[in-house]
Amino acid sequence: MGSHRFSLLASFLLLSLATTAFSSTLSPYYYHKICPQALSTIKRVVEDAVRQEHRMGASLLRLHFHDCFVQGCDASILLDTIDSEKTAGPNNNSIRGFEIIDRIKSEVDKACGRPVVSCADILAIAARDSVVALGGPTWNVQLGRRDSTTTSKTKAEKDLPTPFMDLPALIENFKNKGLDAKDLVALSGGHSIGFAQCFTFRKHIYEESNINPTFARDRQSRCPKNDGNSNLAPLDPTAAIFDTKYFSNLVKKKGLLHSDQELYNGGETDQLVKSYSTDVWSFWNDFAKSMIKMGNIKPLTGKKGQIRSNCRRVNQCF
């Protein structure tokens, strides 16, 4: 599932990141005094979930990403309301892992004796622990976020990137969140793990030319032209290992999604993709930095928001 030795070395390599790329309002030591068992409890539940189903690691990483891109990293994606982000096009019948977040919340509140760990922080920590569990790098997660009391399907429809975007649209989408083209490529490397549904890549494998023909035919066998919308295909050939095969596939024109292949299609991100395809340390280092940067998108801190007792519902005031 990935080299344990690589993960240990990566941990050592990335230890200094906390002092170079975090918001002054957040700290990796936020829970050290108020609940020292918090991080180890979250790690235990995540490792168990990923052990039972490798794909869950990618799902938990994606939850954090899709949360941060709508209203900021505030756990708004977890709320069950009429206007829920869960029902937005990019999320509906696609994002998953909510029951794992519920389990983490229950276990961590029990360990802390009360609800002190926000759902937003749980998403950020679970994303990191999922990457590590699948053989990838670690980083010091910045903590102290609070939870939103609102969610917006409309904002999710508007703000989330789609698998059908071209490179200029992707760059603009990330720029709107304070992320640059390097962050775009590094964070897209999260597609080193996980799967995509047929409807997200059907047009790419049947109608587009910037794809390896043999690869396209192979994917067509799993994704019929007029059926099987929810059929799954791996985003890279080692979907349970956080490695660089995603990037080496792009160089060979074997990107599964249109938006994936756009990163290596004659544009400004080609050189970075090529570099990551042969340099795991560079990819891991930049991925960790970009995850910290993404985690700092509009966090609620201080007296803003709340610490939800149930990640699916806003606390009721009496």
Q: Which of left, alpha, beta for 253 (phi over 0: left; psi -120 to 50: alpha)?
A: left
- The DSSP letter of residue 23 is -
For the four alpha carbons of 160, 161, 163 and 164, in that order, the dihedral sign comes to positive
Answer yes or no: 191 catalytic. no
Place of tokens 């009496």: 318
Among candidate residues 54, 64, 66, 258, the one labeled active-site is: 66
Show Cβ contacts of residue 221 under 8 Å, excluding neighbours closer than 6 positions: none
Please count the other Cβ atoms lying within 10 Å of the Cβ belonging to residue 126: 29
Write the DSSP string, 34-103: T-TTHHHHHHHHHHHHHHH-THHHHHHHHHHHHHHTTTSSSSGGG--STT-GGGSTTTTTT---HHHHHH
Residue type for position 55: R
Euclidean distance between CA atoms 73 and 159, whole angstroms: 13
**Residues designated as active site:** 66
